[in-house]
Structure 1
Amino acid sequence: MVEVADTPELRATGLMFRKNLAADAGMLFLYPDRKKISMWMKNTLISLDMLFLDRDGTILHMAEHTTPHSTAVVSSRFRVKAVLEVVAGTADRLGLRIGDRAEHDLLPADQ
């Protein structure tokens, strides 16, 4: 179950100030166009795995076990369409790798 952040306001707030996140939950940040994304963990209380996704949900880059409250930039490294944030350790737990695909109705496979 993921929440969708598809407006500038929702993307700006993201998962800030949340004290916990269920193992099967997350937030999908959707952008109107593919572009390089820079994120940070300021005001984010829990460590996250960030999955940087192409239009069809293919994982192009991952930033695992991000540091809460950090203002260090976490870069997508590539032009992406979306970022999926999940609780830290999820990528390891699920065995996720670059090239795997996250599925969501808003990331159609036929793009």
Structure 2
Amino acid sequence: MTCFLSRSIRLALRAGAGVAALCLAGTALAQSLPRQTLQAGMHLIQAEVAATPSTREKGLMFREQLGPNQGMLFIFDVPGTQCMWMRNTLVPLSVAFIADDGRITNIEDMAPRTEDSHCASQPVRYALEMERGWFAKRGLKAGSRIDGIR
């Protein structure tokens, strides 16, 4: 993934709007993305859906917080060894890589503002980012299922 700034964000930066413009851009993106309700056992997840190259590139960049059961579901066109990173991401996250059948293949914890790659252990089409520790606190691990992905 690469850092992508829209033309309006680049213009705002040139005009001196700085971080405030980036935060507003992140908020506007969150409000415009489709949402899905997912289920992990008895736990409901409100996931924003990033299913296009540009929304996957932006991901959760510049967000200052997530709600307690909020996250982002990344949907890729074809199964592959998907990798995630945290450039310009301000909150610590955990990512669950998910196979077509909804089974979690592996979960990785990610530190904010880093470019370390965190990759799926096998080809997957989905990745679900949640606040760091969300999966562990609920006893979810490789082999657990996430239902409701469409």
Structure 2 residue 137 is matched with structure 1 residue 93: yes
Secondary structure of 1:82 counterpart: strand
| Equivalence for 1:23 | 68
Which protein is richer in strand relative to its size?
1
Shift of 1:20: 0.1
CA distances 1:27-56 after superposition (whole Å, capped 9, x unpaired): 000011100111110100000010000012
Larger Rg: 2
| Contact preservation (8 Å) 2:102, 2:149 | no
Distance in 2 (alpha carbons) for counterparts of 1:54 and 1:38: 14
Shift of 1:103: 1.1
Query: Percent identity, aligned pairs only?
Result: 34
Secondary structure of 1:20 counterpart: coil
Q: Which of 50, 54, 57 in structure 2 is aligned with 1:12?
A: 57
1:81 maps to a residue whose letter is: R
2:120 maps to a residue whose letter is: S
Structure 2 residue 119 is matched with structure 1 residue 81: no
Shift of 1:105: 3.9
Distance in 1 (alpha carbons) for counterparts of 2:87 and 2:102: 26
Structure 2 residue 80 is matched with structure 1 residue 35: yes
TM-score (norm 1): 0.91
Which protein is richer in helix relative to its size?
2
Gaps of 5+ in 2: 1-45
Gaps of 5+ in 1: 107-111
Distance in 2 (alpha carbons) for counterparts of 1:49 and 1:30: 16
| Contact preservation (8 Å) 2:82, 2:119 | yes
TM-score (norm 2): 0.68
Q: RCO higher in 1 or 2 (8 Å CA, sep ≥ 6)?
A: 1
Secondary structure of 1:3 counterpart: strand
| Equivalence for 1:109 | none
| Equivalence for 2:21 | none
Structure 1 runs, 4 residues or longer, greater than 3 Å off: none
